[in-house]
Amino acid sequence: MADVAFIGLGNMGGPMATNLIKAGHSVVVFDLSQAACDQLQEAGASVASTAAEAASGMDYVISMLPAGKHVATTYLGDDGLLSRLDVTTTVLDCSTIDAATARKVGEEAADRGIGFMDAPVSGGVAAAAAGTLAFMCGGDAVTFEKARLILQDMGKNIFHAGPSGSGQVAKGCNNMLLAIHMIGTSEALEMGARNGLDPKVLSEIMLASSGRNWSLEVYNPYPGVMPTAPASNDYKPGFMVDLMVKDLGLAMEIAQQCKVDNAMGQLASTLYNQHQQAGCGQQDFSSILRKLQD
């Protein structure tokens, strides 16, 4: 069992830290939300008053933060965590951020001899709670093996995508594709419904045909088709439109940097931004169906 600092206890970080406690690790947490810290304390964690206090003397430091600027502030500079840690600590940043910041933190960690991986996740809140997340890791092979020892207690699928920043690139590619096939699935189901087809029957037809995809099979966007999907619970997230807009923005940055003409990704980004601006940011991303219906 390991000594773990967990920084950032939001909708994803809280359940992830809880699973580490359940696995028998000694966990020290820090978050700006006292309520979030209190909840983890009830689950068995110790609470630190600062991120630096949480990270002191730990085997692992894991962070789940909102954006690249928060990751940079936490780790870089004279007051950043990297200046306070030694080579015995492995750092895993599970935030979804821009690849450039992930690479910068990775380079600084390498210069100090500290193992670092950007390890963004896929699967959403339900997978975070169930401990079935997918981790997409960027960093060197030695650090990946250390990371896998702790990530396996929070996830089911753990991938080494490549060097620092690769985890963020993989996440951007995945979520761009997710947005595209959710929109396509919604369009197909709405087109069928307007022609008198039962969306449930049409879903069964497409699941047995070449149109089969994750959005159709696991996260059906049409209300009433799949009782466990957010669509059947008034599109309560799940994975919010606000988060999809953020991830698509990061994917657009990646595409521009490598000069890929990602026309479908750009269109998906435009549609989700419009949906957000219409006041739907707090709804599940599968609510893009409502935009088509409106």
Q: For the segment 230-278, what is each residue's pLDDT rounded down to a tens digit?
A: 999 999 998 999 999 999 999 999 999 999 999 999 999 999 999 999 9
Cα 288–chain centre separation: 19
Q: 28 by DSSP, 3-state: which?
A: strand
- Please tell me the predicted confidence (pLDDT) of residue 124: 85
CATH 1.10.1040.10 is right for the domain spanning 169-293: yes
- pLDDT value at residue 238: 86
Q: What percent of the chain has pLDDT over 70?
A: 100
Query: What's the rounded Cα separation, in Å, for the pair 149 and 137?
Result: 13
Catalytic residue among 22, 69, 156, 171: 171
Residue 151 reports pLDDT greater than 90? yes
Could you tell me the pLDDT band of residue 126, with boundaries at 50, 70 and 90? Answer: confident
Angle in degrees, CA 11, 177, 106, rounded to 5: 60
HSE-up of residue 36 (Cα within 13 Å, Cβ side) = 20
* pLDDT (0 to 100) of residue 294: 84
Q: Write the class of the CATH domain 3-163.
A: alpha beta
183-218 pLDDT tens trace: 999 999 999 999 999 999 999 999 999 999 999 999
Dist. CA 219–CA 216, nearest whole Å: 6
- Return the amino acid letter for 261: D
**Structure confidence at residue 125 as a pLDDT band (50, 70, 90):** confident
Give Dmax over CA atoms of the chain in angstroms.
65
Residue showing tokens 């000694």: 26
Specify whether 171 is catalytic.
Answer: yes
Domain-wise residue ranges, the chain: 3-163, 169-293
Between the alpha carbon of residue 153 and those of residues 110, 173, 235, the distances in Å are 25, 25, 29
